[in-house]
Amino acid sequence: MNKEAKIYIAGHKGMVGSAIWRTLSDRGYTNLIGVSSAELDLRNQQAVKDFIAQEKPEVIIDAAARVGGILANNNYPYQFIMENMQIQNNLIDSAMQGEVNKFIFLGSSCIYPKLAPQPLKEEYLLTNTLEPTNEWYAIAKITGVKACQAIRKQFGKDYVSLMPTNLYGTYDNFDLNTSHVLPAMMRKFHEAKENNHAPVTLWGSGTPMREFLFVDDMAKAVVFALENKLPEYLYNVGTGEDLTIKHLAETIQQIIGHQGKIIWDDSKPDGTPRKLMDVSKMHDLGWKHEVNLQEGIRITYNWFLENIENVKKVTL
């Protein structure tokens, strides 16, 4: 890939998009473009088409999405399915119409069936029913995967989908109403520590198992897909290692230094029992994660402390 190639990163100000931007810049890419949601509403079909036609990027990386945890998915099902389909469909179709030959679509491990065999292989897609608490987001992302596959099949363009496991890291969302499990725990333990090590109540039983990938490692996977023509249309991106939510909570608690009690509210939903990714296809091609979970949590917590006044919707 030419380091001067024009690359449009949709969602460049989000956690994933900003990590991709930093990683590409560090690798010497000099022609990156991104616009804020205030400047370009990706839900607006005509606005997106006009933007792509005007800018003529050689590559589009779609890191834009409406995202959130169990609570947000449960409370806003229509927005999660409709807005995500609008965003990705506008980008994919505008890329296709604008003769963009390389498109990298980012999805989520929730596209796989709730009770699929573990670890999750790419071929398990559409083999059974989804997890009800996030099916709206999952269905939207599945349509994006299939749209890219259809373009790849029909027109031979290099459109590839990367399905990350649970991501976390710097510039994460720490709003307790919309955040994912790891940043939500980090905020709760921090605030409890500041409040004389008060008890922390967490959702569910603590028994589900989850896999977590530091966002900079995800960014490096995107760069890997950018610099190589991957032979298949869909790839899992993760660590291939998981742990219980209880173990995760205890790890975050220890790193933050909270000494209070953890209370598990098992009246709240657990979600999918286990979501471990089979990442052998990416490993076979030459990509592997570099940051282990404890190191990643420390980096993220240090960033949280340094940016505590500016972190979106974090008020202490």
The CA distance from 299 to 243, in Å, is 19
> For the segment 2-54, what is each residue's pLDDT rounded down to a tens digit?
999 999 999 999 999 999 999 999 999 999 999 999 999 999 999 999 999 99
Query: Which residues carry a binding-site annotation for substrate?
Result: 188, 203, 210, 270
Tokens of 47: 């606005």
Is pLDDT of 87 > 80?
yes
Q: Would the CA dihedral through 13, 19, 24, 27 be positive or negative?
A: positive
Q: Which of 8, 137, 171, 301 is catalytic?
A: 137
pLDDT bin (cut points 50, 70, 90) of residue 179 is confident
All structural domains of the chain, each given as residue ranges with its CATH number in brackets, are: 7-306 (3.40.50.720)
Is pLDDT of 180 > 90?
no
Query: Which residues carry a binding-site annotation for NADP(+)?
Result: 11-17, 106-109, 141, 164-167, 180
Check residue 247 and give its pLDDT.
98
- For residue 206, which amino acid is it? G
Q: Is 124 a catalytic residue?
A: no
Check residue 315 and give its pLDDT.
43
pLDDT bin (cut points 50, 70, 90) of residue 176 is confident
Tokens of 9: 């990163």
- What rounded mean pLDDT belongs to the chain? 94
Is pLDDT of 71 > 90?
no
Its pTM stands at: 0.92
Is pLDDT of 316 > 70?
no
Query: Which residues carry a binding-site annotation?
Result: 11-17, 106-109, 141, 164-167, 180, 188, 203, 210, 270
- DSSP per residue, 91-126: HHHHHHHTT--EEEEE--GGGS-TT--SSBPGGGTT
Query: Mean pLDDT over residues 125-145, rounded?
Result: 94
> For the segment 223-267, what is each residue's pLDDT rounded down to a tens digit?
999 999 999 999 999 999 999 999 999 999 999 999 999 999 999
